[in-house]
Chain A
Amino acid sequence: MGNGLEMLPKPMLKNKTKMSNAATVWEVFIQSKNGLAHKHVGNVHAEDKEMALQNARDLYTRRNEGSCIWVVKSEHIVSSVPEDEESFFDPSNDKVYRHPTFYNLPDGAKHI
């Protein structure tokens, strides 16, 4: 019977890295303040990691919006696809016991 997955159209990202002029693309993640998680802000073009870091700093932290920058070559990013959504993400929504509010406290219990 099959589950139809083999017929799913691949995501439509066309890879045109064959052009000799094309610079490498890097995704940029900024940690705006110590203690916060890094956030994806966009991409930069650069040929090597040192220049990628500098370009990211120049473009995305011009007004001091960062304390730490990560750059990753776009080709190294592995992403889930929307079709995975159901199997990857749905199940935890109805596993009630995974959520931190799943407990009963005896009445009168204090400081807990």
Chain B
Amino acid sequence: MSEQTIDKKIDSKKKRKINYAFLQEQLFEDKINLEKKIEPKDWMPDEYRQHLIRQISQHAHSEIIGMQPEGNWITRAPSLRAKMILLAKVQDEAGHGLYLYSACETLGVTRDELNKQLHDGKAKYSSIFNYPTLSWADMGAIGWLVDGAAIVNQVSLQKTSYGPYSRGMIKICKEESFHQRQGYEIMAQMANGTKEQKEMAQDALNRFWWPSIMMFGPHDADSPRTGNAMKWKIKRKTNDELRQNFIDKTVAQAELIGLKIPDPDLKWNEERGSYDFGEIDWEEFWNVVKGNGPCNEQRLNHHKKAHEDGQWVRDAAKAYAQKQN
């Protein structure tokens, strides 16, 4: 075979490779546009994969870290029923974390790697969990507001383009709505209770309101990743849309039980058909995201300690399994 022929053959192979890569990308984009799911063995742009790993793992970490502020009050739950409900709720959260780690692993990363990213501070989790739970009423506030905000986000994510993530979200949404109602029930009960209970409930709302609406992230204009996330249908609604949705739902709920939202600028806007609300303290927002919230260090240390303390147990289980083979 002459050199020329060989060169021609290599060229045409290259062209077919490029054509093939082009077809892969086209197929991916078609799937996105046609609202079809992308599954683990499908070709996907590396950026899409990395974006998902980051988003899903952060979601998973949030569920797990979120067990701590609520777990804080299990031993002090003031009635048998309250104790059962809270214990079941925190258990659900562990389960949600597991569903999400499971979905994330389909993208080619292990749970150990994800844990390491969390411990090294490379991965983030929802900032709301960097606030302390100071009274029993916080259990109400977290269920009502934090789970409420999570639901607004998660309902939207049920339609996300990545199959395992979408299926995980559908499972999670089913359970999350209980949590919100249970939280609201605690607030309602307290708001209608003794003077001290009502004050406790109002205090919890005062402390958790702003961090809850911060959960939706920066304004759309200040959110650099939103563009890709929307294009790839990972994200279905923008930060501001979701935040407005949440506020509109929640204000009426607060009014119904006689609690006041701690925002002097909160006002119904007839024209928009929505509530106008005050500006978020973005300095606090970024400060907590950076790691300077009240509980950031505590939450991570707690997680690390549990992991380290359990090493001998995991080693034993492994050793036992190997002996059986």
Contacts and interface: CB of A to CB of B under 8 A. Distances in A.
B318 A13 contact: no
Secondary structure of the A contact surface, majority rule? loop
B110 A19 contact: yes
B99 interface: yes
Contact of B41 (A19, A62, A79): A79
Given A9-B43, A42-B168, A45-B111, A51 B17 contact: no
Interface in A15-63: 16-17, 19, 21-25, 42-48, 51, 59, 62
B163 to A, nearest CB: 11
B20 interface: yes
Interface stretch (B101-109, B252-260, B277-285): B101-109
A106 interface: no
B43 A12 contact: yes
B302 interface: no
A29 to B, nearest CB: 13
B155 to A, nearest CB: 20
A81 B113 contact: no
Interface size for chain A: under 10, 10 to 19, 20 to 34, or 35 or more residues? 20 to 34
A105 interface: no
A13 B108 contact: yes
Contacts of B17: 7
A25 B103 CA distance: 12
A73 to B, nearest CB: 11
B43 A82 contact: yes
B110 A22 contact: yes
Contacts of A62: 91-92, 95
Interface of B: 13, 16-17, 20, 24, 39-44, 49, 91-92, 95, 98-99, 102-103, 105, 108-113, 164, 168, 314, 317-318, 320-321, 324
15 contacts: A16-B109, A17-B110, A21-B314, A23-B317, A25-B105, A42-B102, A42-B103, A42-B164, A46-B317, A47-B320, A48-B321, A48-B324, A79-B41, A81-B41, A82-B41
Q: Lowest 5 CB-CB distances: which A-B pairs, in order?
A: A47-B321, A14-B108, A47-B317, A48-B321, A42-B102
Interface of A: 4, 7-9, 11-14, 16-17, 19, 21-25, 42-48, 51, 59, 62, 79, 81-82
